[in-house]
Structure 1
Amino acid sequence: MTSMGQGPVRMRNLSMHALLAIITSFVITGCASGYKEFYTPSSGATPEEISANRASTPPATPLVERSAFGDADQIVDRYAKRGYVIIGESHFNSGERVSEEDALEQGKAVGADLVLVYLPKYTGSITSSMPITTPTTSTSFTSGSANAYGPGGPVTAYGNATTTTYGSTTTYVPITVNRSDYGAIYFVKGRFRLGVFVRNLNDLEKQLLQTNQGVVVRTIVDDSPAYKADVLVGDMLVAIDGEKVSNEEGFTKMIAARRGQAVRLALIRNGTPLLKTVQVGK
């Protein structure tokens, strides 16, 4: 008589802890730096232009400051007051872990004196499932005995066998990815001839002046020639040395053409015409 016994054993080569480790690595491992990939230089901020107008050579490591997201113009004006000029910025959204060091490295690459890093702003979560396929093995153990009868009497034989089957199994693991906005602004310390940032007139200001020509002072750089001459934010500049100021671009060209000269700025402050003499830097 033959008797047989079978006991299947199934083993996974990877435990659930290993699966979670793999999933975590997928979520947090990034490729290229978002600060580099999504960097946008400011208009006219070529390497040559930056080099010609910066106050000094770029540092080995830029200064790093932090700020919450906010009105970009107000942030830039705040740094302009301190003498910093924007040369570029990075903005992106990511569900990966993003290091502040990536912003610093991008700052080094573009020659920034200061990098303003925005604090990450949470924008929402995305939940999905990730299929993880892992190899499996199934091993069967078989044992048996057999009896035989012959001239010499009864004989009993015993035997064992092992069978291994290979396959795979797929596990769907739920994952939640938290996404956030990231950003940085890159500045250089500027060399200012006048120290005035201006904007074009809006429609109401054109009506008040009864002209389409002129600019409005948006920011004054601390300790600049304009600062020392008491030119104020909100002043409307209408002429330089008797020549009308057409717009923001025209104002920039007029100042550039008067390097090292003393100029007369005709401006209007709260409806009152004023004349200021300012020494333009070289």
Structure 2
Amino acid sequence: MKNKFASFALAATLALALPGCANGYKEFYTPANGASVEIIASNRASPAPLKPAIERASFAESEKLIAAYAKRGYSMIGHSVFNSGERVSEAAAIEQGVAVQADLVLIFNPQYTGSVTSSVPLTVPTTNTSYTTGSATAFGPGGSVTAYGNTSTTTYGSNTTYIPVTVNRSDYGAAYFVKMRFRFGAFLRELNDSERQALQTNQGVAVLTIVDDTPAYQADILPGDVITMIDGEKVSGTEAFNRMNQARKGKQILLSVIRQGQRIEKTVHLGN
């Protein structure tokens, strides 16, 4: 009975010492900048699926893959990254993907980060019983009578030992994507200081990525192009570019583009 109790106590102690995270993908989820529920809903290409598509990759491939997804029309709406000493099920990443209405979940393969060794106290009850025997003789008119007896005394205590426990820890992560509807079809950024110096202007936006089969793709806008004007109106930055395109949705526009130092013009028919 004592060994059985000790085994149960050890299991319970370890369970308390190594608590699990209900869903790390949910707890450590971080939305992308500007990826509000309203914006995602109004710009997604189709309604959210009942279950997102699943793809897998290593952490080292993440930056390259996110750029590749952008070309396919996927925009990252959020990500989860955390470290755990327990095996975490992929089902938790898929569950979070359903919760944020993702079209695709990229699950990163767990990456081992090292081991942590600590000690867990194990306390088990102890008992110590001592026995005492004695006799007594009584004398009376009829002679003497001797009586014999014994008693026991039990002392209760506990004994604590420390069990070494080694936990192997790993990084876990996932990125969540939605297939977007594109009016123009490019991911843009602001000009940096060296580009402004070279172009001798603060006006314009640089093209990072062109989404396949979009108006920008069809018009042969290329990564690295700098768009300076729309219909003869200067483009001050990415916000201005988006605002100007919004006002011209469904129409044909004329872009002034600088490509490898040469100024060219491109005609683009915007989507709705």
TM-score bracket, shorter-length normalisation: 0.7 to 0.9
How big is each residue's C-alpha offset from its partner over 1:102-145, in whole Å with a ceiling of 9 and x where there is no partner?
11111111111111112222222221111122223334456678
1:168 to 109, 134, 158: 158
Q: SS where residue 70 of structure 1 aligns? A: helix
- Equivalent residue letter for 2:28: F
How big is each residue's C-alpha offset from its partner over 1:67-96, in whole Å with a ceiling of 9 and x where there is no partner?
211375543222111111111111222223
User: Could you tell me which residue of structure 2 aligns to residue 182 of structure 1?
Assistant: 172
Output aligned runs, 1:56-205, within 5 Å. Answer: 56-70=46-60, 73-140=63-130, 161-205=151-195
- Equivalent residue letter for 1:253: R
Residues 104-113 or 175-184, more deviating:
175-184
Alignment partner of 1:54 is 2:40? no
- Equivalent residue letter for 1:113: D
1:174–1:194 distance in 2 versus 1, CA, 3 Å: same
Number of residue-to-residue matches in the alignment: 272
Find the aligned partners of 2:136 and 2:171 in 1 and give their Cα distance: 74
Measure how far apart 1:230 and its partner are: 1.4
How big is each residue's C-alpha offset from its partner over 1:130-189, in whole Å with a ceiling of 9 and x where there is no partner?
112222333445667889999989978665654433221111111122222222111111
User: Could you tell me which residue of structure 2 aligns to residue 276 of structure 1?
Assistant: 266
Find the aligned partners of 1:106 and 1:144 in 2 and give their Cα distance: 74
How big is each residue's C-alpha offset from its partner over 1:191-226, in whole Å with a ceiling of 9 and x where there is no partner?
111110011112222222111221111111111111
Q: SS where residue 85 of structure 1 aligns? A: strand
Residues 19-28 or 38-47, more deviating:
19-28
What is the root-mean-square deviation of aligned Cα atoms in Å? Answer: 2.6
User: Could you tell me which residue of structure 2 aligns to residue 214 of structure 1?
Assistant: 204
Find the aligned partners of 1:255 and 1:110 in 2 and give their Cα distance: 28
Find the aligned partners of 1:57 and 1:182 in 2 and give their Cα distance: 28
- Equivalent residue letter for 2:174: A
1:256–1:27 distance in 2 versus 1, CA, 3 Å: farther
Q: Is the 8 A contact 2:10 2:122 kept in 1?
A: no
Q: Is the 8 A contact 2:9 2:124 kept in 1?
A: no
- Equivalent residue letter for 1:40: T
Find the aligned partners of 2:68 and 2:78 in 1 and give their Cα distance: 16
Q: Is the 8 A contact 1:125 1:176 kept in 2?
A: yes
Q: SS where residue 78 of structure 1 aligns? A: helix
Output aligned runs, 1:15-54, within 5 Å. Answer: 17-26=7-16, 29-54=19-44
Residues 159-168 or 33-42, more deviating:
159-168
Alignment partner of 1:223 is 2:213? yes
- Equivalent residue letter for 2:257: L
Q: Is the 8 A contact 1:85 1:187 kept in 2?
A: yes
Find the aligned partners of 1:27 and 1:192 in 2 and give their Cα distance: 50
Q: SS where residue 119 of structure 1 aligns? A: strand
Q: SS where residue 264 of structure 1 aligns? A: strand
Q: Is the 8 A contact 1:29 1:97 kept in 2?
A: no
Q: SS where residue 134 of structure 1 aligns? A: strand
Q: Report % sequence identity.
A: 60
User: Could you tell me which residue of structure 1 aligns to residue 226 of structure 2?
Assistant: 236
Show structure 2 runs of 5+ residues with no match.
Answer: none
Alignment partner of 1:258 is 2:221? no
TM-score (norm 2): 0.87
